[in-house]
Amino acid sequence: MPVNKEGYLEGQLLLAMPNIGDPRFERTAIYMCSHSSEGAMGLVINREIENINFGQLLEQLTIETEGPITDIPIHAGGPVETGRGFVLHSADYVQDTTLIVSETIALTATVDILRAIAEDRGPRNHLLALGYAGWAAGQLEMEIQANGWLSVRADEEIVFNTELEDKWPRAMAMLGVDLSMLSSEAGHA
């Protein structure tokens, strides 16, 4: 299982196994923004929220911009704090509050980045999400040991430029996993 030099999954994709046992995470790909002995946090990158668009989000946050608004999908980043927004993005855009996760991917959670994206002066690649997936200290490690998750090196193409329904299978394929051979029942092939 790929890990960073400290043995944590920060900057990796976390992939739900078919036997995850939690419908909120079935067939999810999660970009891991932070992972330490204190816990973990990531954003689901393959689920979209359909009842709000970018223009409506800007309006709700009373963010005024210049020019027309391009419709950008809003992702369901996870079940924790679903009213809180995050922007996972290419590291070509950095603010003082930006968390640099890897050489190519960063995380920012300010209204300034939303305005920059709306005005086409934001990061080259971006993924907007409401909510996040979070784990307490040791919880993710226990779920991994129970065969709930696999991890793989995060590929910027999968994170930002792949259709939602293709992200999980493409990331699984990076591990050499043949999805037709996976069973959701333990002990059965």
Q: What's the pLDDT score for residue 92?
A: 95
**Does residue 76 carry a pLDDT above 70?**
yes
Q: What's the pLDDT score for residue 61?
A: 86
Is 5 within a domain? no
Evaluate whether 106 touches 91 at the Cβ level (below 8 Å).
Answer: yes
**Does residue 50 carry a pLDDT above 60?**
yes
Q: For the chain, how many residues are written? A: 189
CA 61 – CA 66 distance, rounded (Å): 15
Task: Provide the domain limits for residue 65.
Answer: 12-181
Is 3 within a domain? no
Domain CATH number, residue 116: 3.40.1740.10
Evaluate whether 76 touches 128 at the Cβ level (below 8 Å).
Answer: no
Is 6 within a domain? no
Is 161 within a domain? yes
Is 173 within a domain? yes
**Number of domains observed in the structure of the chain:** 1
Is 76 within a domain? yes
Pairing between strand 99-100 and 149-153?
unpaired
Evaluate whether 168 touches 151 at the Cβ level (below 8 Å).
Answer: no
Structure tokens at 109: 């959670």
23 Cα distance to chain centroid: 17
| Matching residue, tokens 């704090």 | 81
Regarding predicted confidence, which is higher, 174 or 69? 174
Structure tokens at 56: 């409506």
**Does residue 13 carry a pLDDT above 70?**
yes
Is 186 within a domain? no
Regarding predicted confidence, which is higher, 123 or 186? 123
Evaluate whether 53 touches 82 at the Cβ level (below 8 Å).
Answer: no
pTM higher than the cut 0.75: yes
Sign of the dihedral through C-alpha 79, 149, 89, 41: positive
Is 120 within a domain? yes
